[in-house]
Structure 1
Amino acid sequence: MERRIDFWRERQMLCGRCDHRWRVDLDWIEWWDQVKETCPGCGMTCEHEDSPRVTIDSGDPALDDDRVAQFSWYHTSTQPDWPTRHFDPAASLTAETRRRMGGEQRVSAWAARQRAKALHAGTYEAAVHNMLRRMRDQADRRSQFSLYRVRLKPSVVVGEGWLVDPSDFVGDVMLDEVCPPGVDVARYLNYHEDPGGLSLALGREAIASVQRIAVPLPGTWDGDWVRDAVAALEGVSGTAVPATGTPARSMRLPSARAVLSRELGASLAGGLPVNLRAQFASAAAFTEGEDPEQWARRTSGLFDLIDDPARVLAALDRQDPREV
């Protein structure tokens, strides 16, 4: 069962001081983060420890325990076989790395901790947001990502209520800390991707099957933006733009083509929700020497993940589920 996908939807805020609750759009949150808005109840700004934060929408259908397993959940990863059937985090460690970690006993203990981490799945919006964040913040801009649609087992036991995002500073959650014996799935308020949405921390055993596609899907060649972007890029030089000042000797000047691609990407980003624009622009960055058509189709495909999710879901529909 699919829920309505809406990257632009309003969010609920909750003040930690006066308990005032109200709805805002993403532009309001942008102003809030710049200390240009205050809590309507008590006037507090974002600078205070107990200042208002995004919270769960009381109308979120995933708050209904009986419906959690009926919904489709999503995950993005650079792993082509997530969740890996026989996950061995130590498999790629070299002999030298194992020695530096303190020997096989410590390597085994480390691997056990890695296997004890919870898996994550969330809304479609959260999965796309996570991919764009990784492209910008974790040097994954040129990595091949996969989008997974996750089906849960109908018999899963869902933890009562929901948790504030339990992830540590690197995004990890230990499964046994959020899913005690008898609980298969824990819901949590996601602050980082699709803020205010419900995501899941779960074990592999809670997943019945997944469907996978490589993303982004390439933009269609007959699309106006792709065709016009390619024509514009092929019409400018790939040589460096003359400097207007005195650049540092180690600074490599961008080509006219790279400068134009930034402008084209920025024009697309302007049509996205404000909280995704910077991440999209980073993910869509042009690499010197890149083929203009390849860049334009990839950039258009990134945009369509947000602007045209129906096309993405249709591609997932064509994939056979893989039992986990």
Structure 2
Amino acid sequence: MVTEDWLVERKIDFSRERQMLCEECEHRWMVDLDWIDRWNHGGETCPGCGTNCERERSARVTVDLTDAALTDEAVGSLHWYHTSTQQDWPTKAYDTVSELTAAVRRLMGGDERVAEWADRQRKRALHVGTYEAAIQNMLRRITDQDDRGRQFFLYRVHLTPTVVVRTDWLIDPSDFVGDVMLEDVCPSGVDVARYLNYHEDPGGLSLALGRDAIASVQQVAVPLTGTRHNDWVGRAAETLFAASDAVVATNGYLARVVRLPSPRANAGRELARELTERLPVNLRDQFASAASFDEGDDPEQWAMRVAGLFDLIDDPGRVIATLDRRPHRTI
């Protein structure tokens, strides 16, 4: 039986300040997310040496020196998170080959090359991180990987108590598609490697690990049903039902190549903006994309889904309370 008496839930704060470290002068300082946004657009400089974001050795977000995950002994006692469309993550035997069509197999070079590719997939590290990183990963997948409309699951991950942690931490070792080979970061005798995540919950530590490092998981389908924002849902659905779903016609040459969004799609964008502007600046673009209204969406279902996505960021306590009631699945 799994107990949680020794496990630690860290404070969830999407808006927390981040530490910056300048590679040019090694100056370290704390900033808020608005400062980072201005920095990325050339509006700020390093207080130590005056360099801006255009320099090759300019400042970047770095690990917070007070992060509990920096303590080797604490890593196994912290809650970690992952989002996936797999209902049984981490599955014992994820069959990547069966998802490939005959045409894709041919493009990959035939059965031998497919077998080599499948073997590499089996050697990939799993990834877990903070709650914030898991939610941002889901938003990224909805936006960039055509996962809109698929059911996501949030997993709370409990590590094996005897897990061996690699000394110190790494800069994000992922390749251009986000893969990490387990043997590259976890040599013999090591179960878990910490790395600085630049892309999801920037500045937070995530883990690359093998399946055997996980003791159990708890799971909840996200977004949750219900919301605290019923007034917004009701008003949004009413506005969308009243708006026309006809695509706006254009004249002349444009009529053959351009289809402008319908008034309903435009209304959906404006309604979503009301919630988007209440989020931390680094989440707004991804949230706006994930919350976009597609032609043919049911207005009420769309409004409930968008409010649910917003709640994952605005009201994480409800998600944590729901996970607290879920059983543990031993891995």
TM-score (norm 2): 0.93
In the alignment, which residue of structure 2 is the partner of 1:21? Answer: 28
- The number of residue pairs the alignment matches comes to 324
Q: Which amino acid aligns with 1:122?
A: G
Pick the aligned partner of 1:282 from 260, 267, 289.
289
**Displacement after TM superposition at 1:171 (Å):** 0.6
State which drifts further: 143-152 or 294-303. 143-152
1:172-206 per-residue CA deviation (whole Å, 9 max, x = no partner) reads 11101100001000000000000000000000000
Aligned in 2, Cα 1:88/1:222: closer, same or farther, shift over 3 Å?
closer
5+ residue gaps, structure 1, are none
- Indicate whether 1:195 and 2:202 are aligned: yes
Structure 1 letter corresponding to 2:155: Y
**Shift in Å at residue 11 of structure 1?**
0.2
Alignment-derived partner of residue 45 in structure 2? 38
Deviation at 1:108, TM superposition (A): 2.5
Alpha-carbon distance, 1:267 to partner: 1.0
Shift of 1:94: 4.2
Judge which range, 314-323 or 245-254, deviates more: 245-254
Question: Secondary structure at the residue paired with 1:39?
Answer: coil
In 1, Cα distance between equivalents of 2:251 and 2:16: 43
Call closer, same or farther: CA 1:101–1:254 in 2, change over 3 Å: closer
User: Shift in Å at residue 89 of structure 1?
Assistant: 2.1
Match of 1:236 among 231, 234, 243: 243
Contact 1:135 1:283 survives alignment (8 Å):
yes
Deviations 1:251-295 (A, max 9, x none): 222221111110010110000000000100000011112111100
Of 113-122 and 218-227, deviating more is 218-227
Residue 118 of structure 2 aligns with an amino acid whose one-letter code is A
Matches within 5 A, 1:189-268: 189-220=196-227, 223-241=230-248, 247-268=254-275
Q: Which amino acid aligns with 1:168?
A: D
Measure, in 1, the Cα distance between the counterparts of 2:30 and 2:81.
Answer: 25
- Matched AA of 1:88: D
Return closer, same or farther for 1:189/1:245 CA change in 2, 3 Å cut-off: farther
Identify if the C-alpha distance between structure 1 residues 293 and 175 changes in structure 2 by more than 3 Å, giving closer, same or farther: same
Residues 216 and 301 of structure 1 are in contact (CA less than 8 Å); yes or no, is this contact kept in structure 2? yes
Task: Identify the residue that residue 125 of structure 2 maps to in structure 1.
Answer: 118
The 2-side partners of 1:221 and 1:21 are apart by 39
1:133-158 Cα distance to aligned partner (Å, 9 max, x none): 11112222222211111110101001
Tell me which of 297, 304, 309 is aligned to 2:311: 304
Contact preservation (8 Å) 2:229, 2:307: no
What is the root-mean-square deviation of aligned Cα atoms in Å?
1.8
Match of 1:71 in 2: 78
Instruction: Provide the TM-score with structure 1 as the length reference.
Output: 0.95
Contact 1:44-1:51 within 8 A present in 2 as well: yes
